[in-house]
Amino acid sequence: MNERRQKSYSIRVNAAELARSRQYPTHQANGDEERYAGDQYFMSFTKGLIHNPNTGLLQDPRDFVEFRRAIDDGFIDPFTDRVRHGAKYKVVNGKIVEEENPNFLNGFRQWEAPTAGVVHDLEGPDAQAVTMPPAPPLLDFTGDINLELIFEMAEVYELAIIRDCPFNDFEKGAKNENLKASIARLNKLGYVQNQNGRPRKVNQKRKRVSQKGKLDLQTVFRGSSPGVEVGPYLSQFLLIGNRAVNGEDGVTTGKIAYGVLEINQKVPIATPGTDYMTDFTKYVEVQRGIAQARESYAPGRRFISTPRDLATYVHYDALYEAYLNACLILLGMGTPFDPGFDHLSGGGVAAGDPTTRRHANGFALYGGPHILTLVTEVATRALKAVRFQKFNNHIRLRPEALAARVELVRRNNESDSAIKNEFIPESLLKYVQGFLDKLETNGNGDLATSTLGNISAIAEGSYLLPMAFPEGSPMHPAYGAGHATVAGACVTILKAFFDTSAVLVKDSSNEYRFKRMEEGDKLVAFRANDDGSALVESPINHISEALTLEGELNKLAANISIGRNMAGVHYFTDYYDSVRMGEEIAIGILEEQALTYPTDPFVLSVPTFDGDIVRIGRR
């Protein structure tokens, strides 16, 4: 298994990626204090430390040194004993003094689980045994500004601009001009036509040559795996329910049977048009780790209808919540299991035919309880592994901080008097200028219609990133993403147990199910209506548009992961590489469990996020 993981890693990390990571490193593990105390810390995560009120940068680089030492120690107490928390200190006339405001001191935000990545597990790979390639650095391997990083920062900005656009407009044929304008701006950046990093889905079917190979309504912000570009933007598992034990139809009402209880898919409505951290003073306050009030809500609940709704979902979800819900939906629908062990489960296709039905079944092994517990169990392994990447390896700054660097360069260019006498690293001014140049024009030289021009219109004239949450990002680095790693692990378990070739149909008995297509079945899809109050069933007329279980599970992982980007707290890379690491964790656990089953022959066929198949079994 270690050999397989090493092979997987060597495929994902090529020489160009390693060269890029060495061109402009943001972190190194050997504790080189002189390097940390230089000017490169400005591209690292520093949230919770003491920040300058005028520049928004770390006031004293030595605080970052102590922060790194505490991470290397691997214990909780050093973060209190040695690291100065930004809520307890402020900068006055260039000097660090103790904070006196009780509102800032009470309930300050803590760094979240910085030591979780150094523990070990008895099942599956240890947190340190799986890894991720370097995130896109500021400079590419040629020494130029990295176009991949510019593009994914532009994506986060654009998602903030369209945060209240209906998801029903994220489909071909929609007429939303604001969304089309966002897509046009992204296409002009050039990365889509020359993708030398993490790939984006693009249109390959347009008749016009000028429209091929570009983002469009059916591909933008969708993720990277098979099936995510088919049908509605949202996975069906974030909308539909299943039939309750008393026969009540929950599919069309979004009610999930949880035993005899009920889970409602409708979410609270975060107030449309309300964004946070668009004031620089508030931005610095948040970077210091000072606690904030919760966001405001409109009355009632609705089905997830906009990026803001999805951001709300991923703000408060129980992390494995969406995948547990998906598992409950699939079990309640009687979805067929993987054909490689269907006959063992007791609930598969074989059990439905008296000639193939066994006299004994699975349940505790290969059945519902097995998958229900495993789909949640992998979440803890994923969280610990991603913490090791976040704190011990990459320490990547959040999008809110990179946007603040862009804003700082803008202010410097306009000779802002507040930063006249403040220290700003020359490398920051030199290299981040490339972001400002690209995003102020988007290739047409018109600031008003550019990405940053649109951001300025909603960010009080600044280039700060409007956030969906008052507190902005969590108190841990961006890369990898916790939600995405858990998504990759949990969805991989679901893909291992269920028949991923099943499609969503309305069968001849008018039951909605994921199943193998038969005569009399009608392909369907569900969307929320315009105000999110109800689900609308839509027929599908061509098999190429069928919603497969593989596609909807891939889409679920992408929705949850990119929902965090919609909130402003992650980049595309954080999703892309993290779901694949989560997948590797789940496969490692399944492989080790398979070794402990000296019983009936079985095979699990796991479609990966890259479209390959991994087979796990015992014969």
* pLDDT value for 600: 86
* pLDDT value for 26: 37
Please compute the mean of the pLDDT values over residues 387-391 and round it to a whole number.
98
Inter-residue contact 257 to 328 (CB < 8 Å): yes
d(CA 239, CA 534): 10
Please compute the mean of the pLDDT values over residues 128-137 and round it to a whole number.
95
Which tokens go with 286?
């948040």
User: Torsions phi, psi of 602, nearest 5?
Assistant: -155, 160
With vertex at residue 196, the alpha carbon angle to CA 195 and CA 197, rounded to the nearest 5 degrees, is 95
Inter-residue contact 257 to 241 (CB < 8 Å): yes
Which tokens go with 443?
């290739």
* pLDDT value for 206: 56
- Predicted confidence (pLDDT) per residue in 138-166, tens digit: 988 888 899 999 999 999 999 999 999 99
Say whether pLDDT at 9 is over 60.
Answer: no
Say whether pLDDT at 2 is over 70.
Answer: no
* pLDDT value for 57: 96
Say whether pLDDT at 208 is over 70.
Answer: no
Burial class of residue 275 in the structure, from the number of CB atoms within 10 Å of its CB (0-12 exposed, 13-18 middle, 19+ buried)? buried
Say whether pLDDT at 94 is over 90.
Answer: yes
Locate tokens 């169990």: which residue? 377
Say whether pLDDT at 203 is over 80.
Answer: yes
Closest CA relative to residue 101, chosen from 298, 290, 237: 290
Averaged pLDDT score across all residues of the chain = 91
Q: Which residues pair with 548 in a beta bridge?
A: 503
Say whether pLDDT at 587 is over 70.
Answer: yes
Which tokens go with 14?
């090529």
* pLDDT value for 464: 98
- Predicted confidence (pLDDT) per residue in 536-549, tens digit: 999 999 999 999 99
Confidence of residue 505 (pLDDT cuts 50, 70, 90): very high
- Rg, C-alpha atoms of the chain: 25
Inter-residue contact 69 to 78 (CB < 8 Å): yes
- Predicted confidence (pLDDT) per residue in 394-405, tens digit: 999 999 999 999
Catalytic positions: 476, 483
Which tokens go with 307?
């990026």
Inter-residue contact 192 to 215 (CB < 8 Å): yes
* pLDDT value for 143: 86
Residues 6+ apart with CB under 8 A from 305: 166, 167, 168, 528, 530, 531, 532
Confidence of residue 618 (pLDDT cuts 50, 70, 90): confident
Say whether pLDDT at 423 is over 60.
Answer: yes
Say whether pLDDT at 445 is over 90.
Answer: no
Confidence of residue 31 (pLDDT cuts 50, 70, 90): very low
Locate tokens 């975060």: which residue? 270
Looking at the chain, the whole-number percentage of residues with pLDDT higher than 70 is 92
* pLDDT value for 140: 86
Locate tokens 């804003």: which residue? 407
* pLDDT value for 33: 42
Report CA-CA distances (Å) from 61 to 73, 285, 405. 19, 18, 16
CATH numbers and ranges of domains, the chain:
236-304+317-394+482-557+568-618 (1.10.606.10)
* pLDDT value for 361: 86
Please compute the mean of the pLDDT values over residues 227-244 and round it to a whole number.
97
Inter-residue contact 223 to 557 (CB < 8 Å): yes
Please give the residue that has the higher pLDDT: either 15 or 190. 190
CA distance from start to end of the chain? 18
Looking at the chain, the whole-number percentage of residues with pLDDT higher than 90 is 82
Report CA-CA distances (Å) from 84 to 47, 50, 492. 12, 7, 40
595: left (phi over 0), alpha (psi -120 to 50) or beta: alpha
Say whether pLDDT at 168 is over 80.
Answer: yes
d(CA 202, CA 193): 9
Inter-residue contact 392 to 67 (CB < 8 Å): no
* pLDDT value for 1: 37
- Predicted confidence (pLDDT) per residue in 241-270, tens digit: 999 999 999 999 999 999 999 999 999 999
Confidence of residue 458 (pLDDT cuts 50, 70, 90): very high
d(CA 348, CA 498): 9
* pLDDT value for 207: 54
User: Torsions phi, psi of 81, nearest 5?
Assistant: -75, -35
- Predicted confidence (pLDDT) per residue in 272-295, tens digit: 999 999 999 999 999 999 999 999
